[in-house]
Structure 1
Amino acid sequence: MNKLLVLATCAVLSVGNLAAQSEPLNLKDITSGRYYAHRIYGVRPANDGNSYTQLSEDSRRIIRRSFKNGEEIGTLFNASTARGPIKLEHIDGYIMSPDESRILLQTKTKSIYRRSFTAEYYIFDVKNNRFTHLSEGGPQQVPVFSPDGTMIAFARENNLFLVKLLFDNAESQITKDGKFNEVLNGIPDWVNEEEFSTNCSFTFSADSKMLAWIRYDESKVPIYSIQEFKGSHPTLKQYDEYPGTYDYKYPVAGAKNSEVSVKTFDIKNRVTRTMAVPVDSDGYIPRIQFTSDPDRLAVVTLNRHQDRMDIYMVNPRSTEVKLALRENGTKYIQESAYDALTFYPGQFTFISDRTGYQHVYLYNLNGQLVRPLTQGNYDVTTFYGYDPKTGNCYYQSAQESPLRRSIYMNDKNGRTRKLSTETGTNSATFSKNFNYFMNVWSNSTTPYVTTLRDGNGKTLSTLLDNKELKEKVASFTGQQEFFTFTTSEGVQLNGWMQKPKNFDATKKYPVIMYQYSGPGSQEVADNWKIGFSGGGIWESYMNEQGYIFVIVDGRGTGVRGSEFEKCTYLKLGELESKDQVEAAQYLGTLPYVDKNRIGIWGWSFGGFNTLMAMSEGRPVFKAGVAVAAPTNWKYYDTVYTERYMRTPKENEGYNINPINRVEKLHGNLLLIHGTADDNVHYRNCAEWAEAAVQANKQFQMQIYTNRNHFISGGNTRLHLMTRISEFFKTNL
């Protein structure tokens, strides 16, 4: 679970005709998506620099639109007219070839884990308006075009395959040792997918003559078994008489990881080689990528503690290896270092927090620093790209405030130009030549506004403004404000508060605190995602019931520099829970807050910190809800946990956990978990519950059959939010 981040997922439904608010908010409307804010998804900049492509709303067409005004200027694919072996009613997604002459059409998508899925792909020839099977040997994973567009590599059942388009789509199998729960070729295992945020681990050379991939041998990784029942939505009919299990490889903290190696395949000579990459025996390879030089394969390695990152340049034929860059992190390397790694002709960029803040650096392929592309006492939060022709760097940062995001361009002389104009949170999608960009802006009271702009930031067209939704929610949204306070330890923390619309300062209100609190996360930010379900909508529902809502980002959260973020290292939960307790104490001093009626809740890491805060020792919370909560970090996976905690044998900080602190639990608690959570296993809930029973601590529990970490499907999310809402109404 990358950063253990959980977002409330709502159905993508039309807002429709939103008349003035006449009735109280209800949970069915909130969880069904009635207040969903429209966004423009799937925008892909086209080669011409003046247009972009996207899938139509009915998923039947691939449209080309102008970057100047968003107008439709062509249709690349139309399911109604395209000719092929079957009738396509719609497609789930698509992949353009490098020259845009062919398109891979994605159909019959089936999810595996968070990022991985199988699908049946078809190769569509734009000029001939025809499509054919990519492969008839079974569903495929992560197909990739070669740079020259003449081949497609894909994974199936843990092996790699190659299709040559110039040879009548001739298919050949590259690897044959792939096997479920044993060996994976070119696709990551569960923990590498989840924590390194990737579902593809193979790459073509720039001259399309070589293919390289990561081989994961997970044969020695322990198996975790999830019990599955018949259930509903979906119904697993095979378990009608007896339950079954789903068994997969999941390395808990300190356990054996997959052994990783790098292989290359000479496509013409059909020779496979193993690269002599000096990765630690228990280390990781989070990324591989061919550079602009066909003889240089970039291989990124991490040691198990994840405080050292090496970038090696490997010759795919001779297997010669040269170290290009070594980055020694303070405590640990942040994920952005390899996640934002981008290669250009003869150069590459990556993000480092070596100055105490995250910034972009430009290197040549020999590993020599060319120059920092950004610098200052602020974090770069998204890197959009570097233009080798002009030397300009485009990025999003928190330069104005940790609570806000703006779009910037730095030129080769170090001069900075702000390209976004609105205050709040801006994100961008740039054209390939950086002459245009699509800007999406929101703040805590304004749903997403999407505009098209030129390279200097001038607004050319407004595509979407969610005006109707904004007017609708304005009729019931509570009074919002951002605030700061200083803890007893002298730490200033940022907070957000939403009061009832008819707030009366002479009254005493109960307070519900929501938090996530995980390393590098952020909940207190000036954007429409504020609150659990966005826009403070569910919080507004609770406002109508007479509650004030508060979110506080404690120590360990992000966008305030690496020192603030990494201060929780080796002791997850200790400082984070202290900060939530002190936030509650601060709120209790406010004249309109009833200090005896303060609750707290959170999901995932937020659930963990709810349990930690309620058992911190200072009895400030009357009630709390912990959803899908880790209860002891020794039950969680190696990559995430050890990044912040090292291994259980090395760190006594693992003893600081909700199970060991259960004797101090104070307040009424509701514990919620899905039995099929592949991320934070149900065992976390079961083990904490047993500890609470033996400590004679009463609590309530809600279990959801066959539900994963997101706890949704059918009527599940409505039931969940009703359960949480009614629990707080009863106990506060």
Structure 2
Amino acid sequence: MKVFYFTLLTFFLCLVGLNAQNKLELEDVISGGKNFRNFIPKYVKYEFLPGTDSLVLFQRDTIFYVEDQLEKSSFLTLKQVNDLFSNSDLSKLNSLYPIKWITSNSYYVNLPGAIVIADVNSDKVKYIINYPKEAEFLSFNPVSRFVAYLNDGDLFVVGDDNKSVLVEKAESKDIVLGQTVHRNEFGISGGIFWSPNGKSLAFYRKDESMVTDYPLVNINERVAKVENIKYPMAGMDSHHVTIGVFNAETKEKLYLETGLPKEKFLTNVSWSPDEKYIGVAELNRAQNHMHYNLYNVADGSLFKTLFEEKSDKWVEPENPAVFVPNSNTKFVWQSERDGYNHFYLYDINKGLLKQITKGEWVVTDNFGFDAKGNTLFFEGTKDDVMNRHLYSVSMKNGKVNKLSSAQGFHSVVLNDSKNKVLDYYSSLNVPRVIELYDVKKKTKQVLFKAENPFEEYDFGKVELGTIKSADGITDLNYRLILPANFDVNKKYPVVVYVYGGPHSQQVNNSWLGGARYWQLYMAQNGYICFTMDNRGTPDRGCDFEKVIHRQLGECETQDQYEGVKFLKSLPYVDQDRIGVHGWSFGGFMTINLMEKYPNDFKVGVSGGPVIDWKYYEIMYGERYMDTPDENPEGYEKSNLNLRVDNLQGRLLVIHGAIDPTVVWQHSLQFIEHCIKKRKQVDYFVYPRHEHNVLGPDRVHLMEKVTQYFKDFL
């Protein structure tokens, strides 16, 4: 197949001439390394004061008020804050960064055992809410002055009277209250949902008693101790989730009547502004049929099913309803029903009113409405998937305006009235810029520009480009990093870094093209580093992402192989020295590629790999593969244990022994199959690490990965 590609952006990171030869070390480029923070582009923290256009700048010891002409004056000091605690046993702050604003003149800090609310103008503590120091999963509502927390698994609420009230007792270790459920899928990031006035809360209750215990082993005990977790594997019994509602003033509690079947997913919980209803996106276990249900807060009964969504592959609601200002009934919902994630306007009484955004691009974030509800602000890929821009859309006519201008990845914060924007962005050759944008005046002020932390380090050229996927039609984005002192007449080994799974775009127009610093280190040491986003990765629409349904590892590896063919077409690539490395889904892809294309990969390093999808958890596994009984052919094709005969290159497998995400059983079974087939592989275990090796030990991990490529590639 003929490969088409073009370079989108290229640049030389060495800005001080070809004689710059400073060498990167692993301690510089690995998170947890001694010098890693020195190579992160400098970040400066700005915030809008609530309800105002006023901007403040955070530094360790002082918060400055920023005038329109960027003049600065002291607003709050660390000494002022710590002086408030001088006559108490409250802990002192080491910096001002933990401060959270309530109003333009009041703030709170979360200290061990207490939340302290203070006033800037009077330099006085307004009130203190105490809770047990061992409490977990705190959720503070500054409107009502209530704090929800867990203590020994039980859910409590305490107000500014400092009288804790038991909301729900856990009863047993199988009951989980007020925490994320469904293994953090469907955009779930917490288990407490405060009402608009903060006097009531909805909370998750998860019953895991029917879920199989899965053993993890603590080797630090004299006699190794089994520590069970709950791990529902594909096709096995799943947990049951319900939603409780508690009024912190009346102490009344009820449960929403979510009914049968009990095995379903309750997601995207939100309150109506008048607090009459709670909306819940309820997804069947097969994850192909969603009901958006509204429940009466007064008695927990079902008010109505407002709408349904179906798919022959999967439905994945990830964003709760966002109500239009000054309306108790109108809200915006995000859906992929037309093939791309877009906004839809609903009314509780009338149902669907209209689709707001449309086109072959996706909304990636919602920043909310202006004060009158006439304009909605969002992040999206309207220009192209390699960039993220800030847009606004008129609720009246659907006209979309792009507000950010510079190419790159933009991350924004808007003030409450949505007339001022803090725009943090980077691009391939721009480490970080912070701008203040006036929406009405359409003016920009540059607040900060970060310097290039690699200015004195030469590791060659970074290119972004595209090739065609295995279907011969679809463009796939890649990143190529060439070695330092690159010579087109030489032959270089290649390390392919792969992920390739859902919910992870590896290549984009952010700083260094989204490259991991380890790839820069490898390029400086004479390797070409290549990464590509295959079909199945996010933000390109349903056809692009959902092609993987019931066949994980098929089209992904076919696409990645097109990348390998592209590499082999380059005259400076040593075709006999191509390696591959990935973790988690990337670990699965690493072994999958080596088994399917054994003649093309000399070396591979697979970390935390899924080997057999029937041993993976329900929520993720069944979404993409259905159950093992429903899709035996798909599970068989994706089972890496069944193709170990094909292995030819040198392979290192690494796993955390207490991994609760991809359990250790995966790689252990793979090693067992390799033994039976007389296939030699190398294996390394991190005895007390979970799915990711974090902290200083991560440097050890990457030393091992690096040395493996140096030794055998």
Per-residue CA deviation, residues 49-95 of structure 1 (Å, 9 max, x unaligned), is: 313668x554x777766688494662287542222432324379758
- In structure 1, the partner of 2:499 is 516
Conservation of the 8 A alpha-carbon contact between 1:70 and 1:461: no
Deviation at 1:506, TM superposition (A): 2.1
1:339 aligns with 2:319: yes
1:449 aligns with 2:453: no
Conservation of the 8 A alpha-carbon contact between 1:679 and 1:709: yes
1:173 aligns with 2:172: no
- Going from structure 1 to structure 2, the CA distance change for 1:476 and 1:506 (only over 3 Å counts) comes to closer
Deviation at 1:150, TM superposition (A): 3.7
1:348 aligns with 2:331: yes
- Going from structure 1 to structure 2, the CA distance change for 1:265 and 1:406 (only over 3 Å counts) comes to closer
- Going from structure 1 to structure 2, the CA distance change for 1:563 and 1:183 (only over 3 Å counts) comes to same
Deviation at 1:136, TM superposition (A): 4.2
AA matched with 2:179:
I
Partners of 1:522 and 1:306 lie apart in 2 by: 23
Q: Sequence identity, in percent?
A: 28
Deviation at 1:566, TM superposition (A): 0.1
AA matched with 2:695:
G
- In structure 2, the partner of 1:123 is 116
Partners of 1:358 and 1:396 lie apart in 2 by: 12
- In structure 2, the partner of 1:222 is 212
- In structure 2, the partner of 1:528 is 511
How many residues in Structure 1 have an aligned counterpart in Structure 2? 683
AA matched with 2:624:
Y
Deviation at 1:354, TM superposition (A): 1.3
Deviation at 1:545, TM superposition (A): 2.5
Per-residue CA deviation, residues 256-309 of structure 1 (Å, 9 max, x unaligned), is: 222111222344443322221245321011232221022111222111122222
Deviation at 1:704, TM superposition (A): 1.5
TM-score calculated relative to the size of structure 1: 0.86
- Going from structure 1 to structure 2, the CA distance change for 1:397 and 1:39 (only over 3 Å counts) comes to farther
- In structure 2, the partner of 1:184 is 176
Superposed counterparts of 1:459-470, under 5 Å: 460-469=444-453
- In structure 2, the partner of 1:359 is 342
Deviates more, 1:305-314 or 1:81-90: 81-90
2:683 aligned residue (696, 701, 708): 701
- In structure 2, the partner of 1:622 is 602
- Going from structure 1 to structure 2, the CA distance change for 1:216 and 1:438 (only over 3 Å counts) comes to same
Deviation at 1:96, TM superposition (A): 4.9
Superposed counterparts of 1:553-568, under 5 Å: 553-568=533-548
AA matched with 2:165:
S
1:493 aligns with 2:502: no
SS of residue matched to 1:450: strand
Partners of 2:646 and 2:96 lie apart in 1 by: 50
SS of residue matched to 2:360: coil
Deviation at 1:471, TM superposition (A): 3.0
- In structure 2, the partner of 1:11 is none
- In structure 2, the partner of 1:277 is 258
- Going from structure 1 to structure 2, the CA distance change for 1:27 and 1:207 (only over 3 Å counts) comes to closer
- Going from structure 1 to structure 2, the CA distance change for 1:723 and 1:427 (only over 3 Å counts) comes to same
- Going from structure 1 to structure 2, the CA distance change for 1:142 and 1:177 (only over 3 Å counts) comes to closer
1:163 aligned residue (158, 164, 168): 158
AA matched with 1:444:
L
- In structure 1, the partner of 2:270 is 289
Per-residue CA deviation, residues 411-441 of structure 1 (Å, 9 max, x unaligned), is: 2322222111111222211111111111121
Partners of 2:153 and 2:99 lie apart in 1 by: 21
Partners of 1:160 and 1:62 lie apart in 2 by: 35
Partners of 1:449 and 1:76 lie apart in 2 by: 26
SS of residue matched to 2:645: helix
Partners of 1:605 and 1:613 lie apart in 2 by: 12
SS of residue matched to 2:640: coil
Superposed counterparts of 1:29-428, under 5 Å: 29-31=28-30, 32=33, 33-38=36-41, 40=43, 45-51=48-54, 56=58, 58=60, 69=70, 71=72, 74-75=75-76, 78-83=80-85, 84-90=88-94, 96=100, 99=103, 103-107=107-111, 120-126=113-119, 127=122, 129-130=124-125, 134-146=129-141, 148-165=143-160, 168-179=161-172, 181-189=173-181, 192-230=182-220, 239=221, 241-278=222-259, 280-333=261-314, 335=316, 337-339=317-319, 341-344=321-324, 345-346=327-328, 347-366=330-349, 368-387=351-370, 389-411=372-394, 412-428=396-412
- Going from structure 1 to structure 2, the CA distance change for 1:332 and 1:97 (only over 3 Å counts) comes to farther
AA matched with 1:359:
H
- In structure 2, the partner of 1:12 is none
Deviation at 1:379, TM superposition (A): 1.3
Partners of 2:308 and 2:73 lie apart in 1 by: 46
- Going from structure 1 to structure 2, the CA distance change for 1:268 and 1:415 (only over 3 Å counts) comes to closer
AA matched with 2:202:
A
Per-residue CA deviation, residues 670-707 of structure 1 (Å, 9 max, x unaligned), is: 11112222222222221111111111111111222211
- In structure 2, the partner of 1:4 is none
TM-score calculated relative to the size of structure 2: 0.88
- Going from structure 1 to structure 2, the CA distance change for 1:86 and 1:208 (only over 3 Å counts) comes to closer
Conservation of the 8 A alpha-carbon contact between 1:186 and 1:214: yes
- In structure 2, the partner of 1:641 is 621
Deviation at 1:122, TM superposition (A): 2.2
Per-residue CA deviation, residues 190-235 of structure 1 (Å, 9 max, x unaligned), is: xx243244343233333445332221111221122221233xxxxx
Deviates more, 1:648-657 or 1:483-492: 483-492
1:436 aligns with 2:420: yes
- Going from structure 1 to structure 2, the CA distance change for 1:146 and 1:467 (only over 3 Å counts) comes to closer
Superposed counterparts of 1:557-636, under 5 Å: 557-617=537-597, 619-636=599-616
Partners of 1:86 and 1:351 lie apart in 2 by: 44
Partners of 2:229 and 2:219 lie apart in 1 by: 17
SS of residue matched to 1:339: coil
Partners of 1:649 and 1:70 lie apart in 2 by: 66
SS of residue matched to 2:184: helix
- Structure 1: unaligned runs, 5 residues or longer: 1-18, 109-119, 231-238
Partners of 1:618 and 1:418 lie apart in 2 by: 47
